[in-house]
Amino acid sequence: MRFRAKIVDLACLNHFSRVVNTIAKLAKACTLRLTAGKLYFILSDKVANGGVGMWCELCQGNFFDEFQMEGVAPEHNEIYLEVVPENLSRALKTAQSAKAVKIKLTNKHCPCLRVAVELPSLSSSSRIVTHDIPVGVIPRRLWNDFREPNVPDFDVSIYLPVLKTMKTVVERMKNLSNSVVIEANLSGEMNLKIETDLVSVTTHFKDLGNPPWASVDECQDSAQDRDLESMAEARIDIRKLQQLLAGQQVNPTKALCNIVSKRIVHFILLHEDVSLQYFIPALA
Amino acid sequence: MKSFLGIFRSLPLLEKTVEKCLILLRPRASRLVVQLHCKYGVTKTHNLAFQECERLQAVFDTQRCASQLCAPARVLAEAVVHFPPTLAEVTLGAGPGGKLSLRNYVEDETELKKTMVTELWLAEDEFQTVAVVPGSHITFCLKEFRGLLTFAEASNLPLTIHYDVPGRPVVFTLDDAVLEVHLVLATLSDTESNLQPPPTNGVSHPPAPSDDFADDLESYMIAMETSAYEEGSGAPPSPTFPLRTPHPAESDPEEEEEEEEEGAVPGTPPHKKFCSLFFGSVLMPRGPSLAPTQEVLAEDSDNEY
């Protein structure tokens, strides 16, 4: 099992650290899956995570100048690592002016991701900072836990309003309630609602548009013959939603959400070379 | 300290309005008086209560430290930003090829598997002087070091680090025409070197920690002595008392100043000349009985070997 990668370009480095920062805001620990072409940050929707799931996918070619990996076996050319994204984010934080950043999988006293940062210095030779981030190597028999989640059989799929606006609204609502009802219909309307004994607040968003899902996909037929005006709703933990919105450091080109009535809300944030899916289960 | 800082909180405003500042000590009334003489005849008087405390004197001699480093504060400040703000201790080490390393100190094996270890290498030519024993290393508190660096960076002074073997104090010094700062920090002693008490260096004998406390900082003594003497203040230096100084007195006036500080006995009336500030003496209390009786404890553990 081998892995080494190198980033030289500053823009790529900043972009990569923004992605890592976003992940660090969403998950304390997550799985880093490495394949020849892609990197994945995965949080499987176990009960321990409060049922929240995350799937973030990035093409290595758009970030790394060098990327070599060798999985456990040629037919399973993948590496699964358990990492604390906060560590990775911290290691990259002080690398903003780096000449080069190398990431390497090492095994000295324990398996580590070694992030070696080459920084400019006042003298002729450059400063080298290395961060050894302890990781857990996930054995192959557990890999099945980290499969790409399917797009759920949603009732309504809708584009999200500008995330910043949504974030402000949700942050205000968070002071009033622990949960928020997110509801939407197929005519581009979405509402965020909180209802407590004292107060009810609803924020209405209009003309958001509904993404066209290929109707060939059979699983989406519950959305097919649906009344355009009727709302599908799910009540979710407001902190989880707020976390997702506040942690966004990568400005997505497209943001949408799929609502499975009373079951789950599936967020998809798309960027040119990064995609982030986030699942928040509905509260009972 | 906080109330003292409060007086000087808004520097730009003070610079505009204050013409002179008078600081008086009234030992009888246990008051430190700060008078700010402002424009238009306004005088602001601050009466600060103080408690006389037993003085903790760091006994050190920078001349006898085996290793010495000098670097612009900025280089060191840029080096420590790579460490997390919550980190307690760092290890400074002299590596091969004249390179110097800083890495976060991790207490034991099990922790090593959970914590991110950050190591930074600085080339020799980033320092102004490097005279270190090859392979030497010391571990000390990062928080206090950061504090000093902030100060040193602001005043744009080079920082000199004097250190000896692990367990002996490390002394950080700043020198300037009007200012002389010594920060003495305890260093973590090596587990191996505990078997033998460290060489005494002609000064006070540091207590060799018992095995249970092998990893503890020996004496949580952090003293920052700031001696600021303004030129032309007119006040003659106070007479030199005969002192039981650990090292031969030198004729250098600055040295004398420093020795006066060192030789002060608890209970001596406070110096008229300047203030000596202590940044807390105990960092992490490790059980109530340990601190006051540390030396006795050490004797016992020595006998066990």
Among chain A residues, CA nearest to B84? A90
- pLDDT at B303 > cutoff 70: no
Helix (H, G, I), strand (E, B) or coil at B232: coil
Chosen for mutation from A124, A132, A137 (greatest number of chain B CBs closer than 10 Å) is A132
- pLDDT at A125 > cutoff 90: no
The tens digit of pLDDT for each residue in A174-213 reads 999 999 999 999 999 999 999 999 899 999 999 998 888 7
pLDDT score, position B239: 40
Contact assignment for B116 to A91 by CB distance below 8 Å: yes
Query: Is the ipTM value over 0.85, yes or no?
Result: no
pLDDT score, position B52: 73
Comparing A223-232, A266-275, B56-65, which segment has the lowest mean pLDDT?
B56-65
Contact assignment for B116 to A90 by CB distance below 8 Å: yes
Query: What value, to the nearest 5°, has the Cα angle with vertex B162 and ends B159 and B166?
Result: 130
Q: Is A87 on the interface with B (CB under 8 A)?
A: yes
The tens digit of pLDDT for each residue in A33-83 reads 999 989 999 988 676 666 788 999 999 888 999 999 998 888 888 999 999
pLDDT score, position B254: 41
Rounded to the nearest integer, the mean pLDDT of chain B is 66
Q: Is A91 on the interface with B (CB under 8 A)?
A: yes
User: Of the candidates B78, B121, B75, B72, which has an alpha carbon nearest to the alpha carbon of residue B98?
Assistant: B121
Q: Is A144 on the interface with B (CB under 8 A)?
A: no
Chosen for mutation from B118, B126, B128, B130 (greatest number of chain A CBs closer than 10 Å) is B118
Residues of chain B neighbouring A133 (CB-CB closer than 8 A): 116
- pLDDT at A271 > cutoff 70: yes
Rounded to the nearest integer, the mean pLDDT of chain A is 87
Q: Is A108 on the interface with B (CB under 8 A)?
A: no
The tens digit of pLDDT for each residue in A73-113 reads 888 889 999 999 999 999 998 888 888 999 999 987 788 99
Contact assignment for B118 to A110 by CB distance below 8 Å: no
Give chain A as a 3 state SS string: CEEEEEECCHHHHHHHHHHHHHHHHHCCCEEEEECCCEEEEEECCCHHHCCCEEEEEEEHHHCCCEEEEECCECCECCEEEEECHHHHHHHHHCCCCCCEEEEEEEECCCEEEEEEEEECCCCCCCEEEEEEEECEECCHHHHHHHCCCCCCCCCEEEECCCHHHHHHHHHHHHCCCCEEEEEECCCCCEEEEEECCCCEEEEEECCCCCCCCCCCCHHHHHHCCCCCCCCEEEEEEHHHHHHHHHCCCCCCCEEEEEEECCCEEEEEEECCCEEEEEEEECCC
- pLDDT at B283 > cutoff 50: no
Confidence band (pLDDT; 50, 70, 90) for B167? confident
Q: Is A165 on the interface with B (CB under 8 A)?
A: no
Q: Check residue B9 and report its DSSP letter.
A: S
Q: Is B108 on the interface with A (CB under 8 A)?
A: no
pLDDT score, position A47: 63
Shortest alpha-carbon distance between residue B10 and chain A (Å): 31
Q: In the predicted model, what is the mean pLDDT of residues B235-244?
A: 40
Comparing A113-127, A128-142, B195-209, which segment has the lowest mean pLDDT?
B195-209
Confidence band (pLDDT; 50, 70, 90) for B215? very low
- pLDDT at B42 > cutoff 50: yes
Distance separating the N- and C-terminal Cα atoms of chain B? 44
